[in-house]
Protein backbone atom coordinates (compact mmCIF):
# COMPACT_ATOMS: atom_id res chain seq x y z
CA UNK A 1 0.00 0.00 0.00
CA UNK A 2 1.51 3.26 -1.09
CA UNK A 3 0.19 6.63 -0.03
CA UNK A 4 1.50 10.08 -0.75
CA UNK A 5 2.47 11.82 2.42
CA UNK A 6 0.79 14.83 3.88
CA UNK A 7 -1.68 15.52 1.12
CA UNK A 8 -4.69 15.48 3.37
CA UNK A 9 -3.57 18.47 5.41
CA UNK A 10 -3.60 20.84 2.45
CA UNK A 11 -6.98 22.22 1.43
CA UNK A 12 -7.89 21.99 -2.23
CA UNK A 13 -9.50 24.96 -3.91
CA UNK A 14 -10.79 25.65 -7.39
CA UNK A 15 -9.29 28.42 -9.48
CA UNK A 16 -12.10 30.62 -10.75
CA UNK A 17 -10.07 31.33 -13.89
CA UNK A 18 -9.25 27.93 -15.33
CA UNK A 19 -11.55 25.86 -13.09
CA UNK A 20 -8.74 23.50 -12.21
CA UNK A 21 -8.24 22.45 -8.65
CA UNK A 22 -5.02 23.08 -6.82
CA UNK A 23 -3.65 23.15 -3.34
CA UNK A 24 -4.68 26.29 -1.56
CA UNK A 25 -1.10 27.44 -1.06
CA UNK A 26 -0.57 27.47 -4.82
CA UNK A 27 -3.47 29.80 -5.37
CA UNK A 28 -3.98 33.46 -4.66
CA UNK A 29 -6.91 34.35 -2.45
CA UNK A 30 -8.85 37.48 -3.30
CA UNK A 31 -11.61 39.19 -1.34
CA UNK A 32 -14.10 41.92 -1.99
CA UNK A 33 -13.47 45.36 -0.50
CA UNK A 34 -16.10 47.93 -1.32
CA UNK A 35 -16.40 47.27 -5.03
CA UNK A 36 -12.83 46.23 -5.60
CA UNK A 37 -11.17 42.85 -5.85
CA UNK A 38 -8.27 42.87 -3.40
CA UNK A 39 -5.50 40.26 -3.27
CA UNK A 40 -5.32 38.68 0.16
CA UNK A 41 -1.67 37.77 0.21
CA UNK A 42 -1.67 36.82 3.90
CA UNK A 43 -4.83 34.71 3.74
CA UNK A 44 -6.11 36.73 6.64
CA UNK A 45 -8.85 38.93 5.27
CA UNK A 46 -12.29 38.14 6.52
CA UNK A 47 -15.21 37.65 4.25
CA UNK A 48 -15.97 35.68 1.21
CA UNK A 49 -12.93 34.81 -0.84
CA UNK A 50 -12.17 33.34 -4.21
CA UNK A 51 -9.06 31.55 -5.41
CA UNK A 52 -7.01 32.10 -8.51
CA UNK A 53 -3.73 31.00 -9.98
CA UNK A 54 -1.30 33.85 -9.79
CA UNK A 55 -0.92 34.23 -13.53
CA UNK A 56 -2.22 36.52 -16.20
CA UNK A 57 -4.23 33.91 -18.01
CA UNK A 58 -6.32 32.84 -15.06
CA UNK A 59 -6.87 36.40 -13.93
CA UNK A 60 -7.96 37.45 -17.40
CA UNK A 61 -10.32 34.54 -17.71
CA UNK A 62 -11.89 35.17 -14.35
CA UNK A 63 -12.49 38.79 -15.31
CA UNK A 64 -13.79 38.06 -18.78
CA UNK A 65 -16.12 35.31 -17.68
CA UNK A 66 -17.28 37.38 -14.72
CA UNK A 67 -16.46 34.39 -12.55
CA UNK A 68 -15.16 36.57 -9.76
CA UNK A 69 -18.38 38.51 -9.53
CA UNK A 70 -20.26 35.33 -8.86
CA UNK A 71 -17.63 33.74 -6.68
CA UNK A 72 -17.47 36.78 -4.44
CA UNK A 73 -21.21 37.22 -4.26
CA UNK A 74 -21.20 40.59 -5.99
CA UNK A 75 -23.87 41.63 -8.42
CA UNK A 76 -22.24 44.42 -10.35
CA UNK A 77 -19.01 44.98 -12.17
CA UNK A 78 -15.92 45.13 -10.01
CA UNK A 79 -12.71 47.09 -9.88
CA UNK A 80 -9.93 44.74 -10.93
CA UNK A 81 -7.03 47.18 -10.92
CA UNK A 82 -5.29 45.81 -7.83
CA UNK A 83 -5.59 42.30 -9.17
CA UNK A 84 -4.21 43.25 -12.56
CA UNK A 85 -1.28 45.07 -11.01
CA UNK A 86 -0.09 41.78 -9.56
CA UNK A 87 0.86 40.35 -12.88
CA UNK A 88 1.92 43.46 -14.75
CA UNK A 89 5.65 43.02 -14.91
CA UNK A 90 6.77 46.45 -16.05
Residues that bind Zn ion (CB under 5 A): 15, 17-18, 53, 58
Q: Which is nearer to Zn ion, 20 or 35 (CB)?
A: 20
User: For residues 78 and 32, is the Cβ–Cβ distance under 8 A?
Assistant: yes
Q: Which is nearer to Zn ion, 22 or 36 (CB)?
A: 22
Minimum distance, C-beta of residue 54 to Zn ion, in the bound complex (Å): 9
Minimum distance, C-beta of residue 46 to Zn ion, in the bound complex (Å): 24
User: How far is the C-alpha of 26 from the C-alpha of 49, rounded, in Å?
Assistant: 15
Q: Which is nearer to Zn ion, 45 or 56 (CB)?
A: 56
Minimum distance, C-beta of residue 58 to Zn ion, in the bound complex (Å): 3
CA angle 32, 35, 38 (to 5 degrees): 40
3-class DSSP assignment, residue 38: strand
User: For residues 16 and 67, is the Cβ–Cβ distance under 8 A?
Assistant: yes
Amino acid sequence: MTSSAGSESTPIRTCVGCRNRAEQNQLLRVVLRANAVVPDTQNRQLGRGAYLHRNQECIDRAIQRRSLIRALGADSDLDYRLLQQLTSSS
